[in-house]
Amino acid sequence: MINKNAKFILEDGSLYEAYSFGYEKSSAGEIVFNTSMTGYNESLTDPSYKGQILVYTYPLIGNYGIPKMISEKKNIKKFFESNNIHVSGLITSYYLDSAFHWNMYKKLSYFLKINNTVGIYGIDTRSLTKKLRDKGTMLGKIIISDNVKFYNPDNYNLVDKVSIKKKTIYGDGKQKILLIDCGVKNNIIRCFLERDCTVIRVPWNYNNLINEEYDGLFISNGPGNPKGYKTTINNISKAFICNKPIFGICLGNQLLGLAAGFYTHKLKYGHRSNNQPVILSGTNRCFITSQNHGYVIDSNKIPNGWKIFFKNLNDNTCEGLINYEKNFISVQFHPEASSGPTDSQFLFDVFLNFIKTNNN
């Protein structure tokens, strides 16, 4: 492995010396972290990380390499959340180039290079994460060659960059799910296909929702500030009159909330880990969840007909919404992410039960 000196700079002026192991270019974005010891091929290709530099807190990354991009139905990649890397850069404490695994196809460094993504190692990532947890969300940049300006992804329409461009249909199941793609993860589509659904995937700004034939509407995860996607919010509001069940995940939770009359605000820290505890409202039942978001639904004002579905046990913030009369639900975490590994995937079944009840 050939290393090249690199620098990592935070907006507060903090500077870290590091080594490059990916595509050799400078890059900038919002700094976020992930606490997983595995799953870097999934998180790197998660569209929700668009515009962000990802820091892994686990001390060693790269030991099992990258599996081959095997296509499933309609070009869904088997071991990945999309077809491309979406992070603006990757930071690890240590990178292991001598990877070994029965399913390995290429090394992580190769995967970064062919996707034009910078990767650096040699930084105390746990110390960096503590700094982020102390000071809050920060911008940063990785300097390898030329200098670059700091980049704030909240100022851009990132959903348009990661959403599908034309309607695509997956499967041939009994229930038809109309999926608004704001940067959907492949495993969400898999969860529906495994439950005998037909998935009709449409762009984030698709304006023909009410004329589509479907049984339930799904609003996907994705990057960016939810208030910036007014077209999607307006389309969801129009879909309310169709009286068909709706399910939103992550950004989809925020967009559904805004369409219903809730407010959103940016968290100081965000929820950035695979071990966030959430509790089902009105019970003592706790779930360990995977999360990556900087914005949250403001639960101080709750519109008529709505209730808080889940709450975060760390900071008591809203983790989901439910409207029993309309059969609308949403969650801020990722039930498809297999944190438990399947402890909150029952939410897909709840949504499908709403559909069956609605159709009877």
What residues act catalytically?
250, 334, 336
Strands (E), the chain: 5-10, 15-20, 27-34, 52-56, 60-61, 89-92, 94-95, 118-121, 138-143, 168-170, 175-181, 197-203, 216-219, 246-249, 263-280, 286-298, 307-312, 318-323, 328-331
Interatomic CA distance for residues 208 and 211, integer angstroms: 6
What would the DSSP string read from start to end of 4-34?
A: -EEEEEETTS-EEEEEE-S----EEEEEEEE
Interatomic CA distance for residues 238 and 262, integer angstroms: 16
Interatomic CA distance for residues 38 and 51, integer angstroms: 22
Interatomic CA distance for residues 259 and 227, integer angstroms: 10
> If 0-12 CB within 10 Å is exposed, 13-18 middle and 19+ buried, where does residue 52 land?
buried
What would the DSSP string read from start to end of 79-108?
A: TSSSSS---SEEEESEE--S---TT--B-H
Instruction: From residue 329, give the alpha-carbon distance in Å to each of 138, 284, 313, 338.
Output: 31, 20, 20, 19
